[in-house]
């Protein structure tokens, strides 16, 4: 863009500098376009940096997101107060808690803190739903079954919202 401005000034000198107002307007327009191009380049570079950060984050939490996909049918059963089978519940309770701690240690990249927070909250609510359902079954307690159902409902809502927001951010900010 600077070469265009230099050429414009050079051509104006060659032509006797008889229209300074027109040349001034053209220079202003060229400078504005140069600023817009620089700002666009910065946004493009930031998007590329985000893609790299998001990919790193995706590698770290992707398996946990997959785990929440597999957990949703179990949470649906708890929400409806229809299960799951005790063996299935036991498997989930043996493997599930470590994911919450991992999520809490994983720093989210800029722009993902909201969906990451929802995912952490969903993970804890899901764990609460699993534990409450286990206690409800062990004590044949409807109060605990209702508590488990509420926790499962909240976990499902947060999981879906976190996944939607996460995918919208990770799968691609688009150029505007």
Convert the pLDDT of each residue in 83-120 to its tens digit.
899 999 999 998 877 788 888 888 888 778 888 888 89
- Note every long-range contact of 105-110, with CB atoms under 8 Å and residues 24 or more positions apart, other chains counting: 106/57, 106/60, 106/61, 108/57, 109/50, 109/53, 109/54, 109/56, 109/57, 110/50, 110/53
The number of domains in the chain is: 1
- Note every long-range contact of 40-46, with CB atoms under 8 Å and residues 24 or more positions apart, other chains counting: 43/175, 44/175
Residue 137 falls inside a structural domain? yes
Residue 153 falls inside a structural domain? yes
Return the number of other C-beta atoms located less than 10 Å from residue 99's C-beta: 20
Q: How does DSSP classify residue 107?
A: P
Question: 74 Cβ partners below 8 Å, 6+ apart?
Answer: 83, 84, 88, 89, 92, 130
Residue 103 falls inside a structural domain? yes
Six token digits for residue 60: 């770290």
Residue 15 falls inside a structural domain? no
Kindly report the pTM of this predicted structure.
Answer: 0.68
Q: Domain residues for 75?
A: 61-170
Instruction: Please report where in the chains the tokens 């817009």 appear, as a residue.
Output: 36
Query: How large a percentage of the chain has pLDDT more than 90?
Result: 36
Residue 8 falls inside a structural domain? no
pLDDT of 176 reads 42
Which tens digit of pLDDT belongs to each residue from 4-49?
777 777 777 888 887 788 878 888 888 888 888 888 988 888 778 8
Q: How does DSSP classify residue 96?
A: S
Residue 36 falls inside a structural domain? no
Residue 86 falls inside a structural domain? yes
Q: Does residue 174 carry a pLDDT above 80?
A: no
């Amino acid at each position: 863009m600077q070469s265009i401005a230099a050429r414009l000034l050079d051509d104006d000198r060659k032509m006797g500098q008889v229209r300074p107002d027109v040349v001034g307007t053209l220079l202003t327009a060229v400078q504005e376009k140069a600023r817009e191009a620089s700002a666009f380049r910065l946004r493009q570079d930031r998007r590329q940096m985000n893609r790299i950060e998001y990919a790193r984050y995706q590698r770290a939490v992707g398996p946990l997101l997959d785990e929440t996909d597999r957990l949703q049918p179990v949470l649906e059963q708890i929400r409806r107060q229809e299960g799951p089978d005790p063996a299935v519940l036991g498997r989930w309770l043996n493997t599930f808690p470590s994911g919450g701690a991992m999520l809490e240690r994983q720093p989210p990249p800029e722009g993902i803190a909201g969906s990451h927070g929802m995912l952490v909250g969903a993970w804890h609510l899901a764990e609460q739903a699993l534990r409450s359902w286990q206690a409800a079954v062990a004590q044949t307690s409807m109060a605990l079954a209702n508590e488990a159902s509420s926790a499962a409902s909240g976990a499902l809502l947060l999981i879906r919202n976190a996944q939607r927001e996460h995918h919208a951010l990770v799968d691609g900010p688009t150029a505007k």
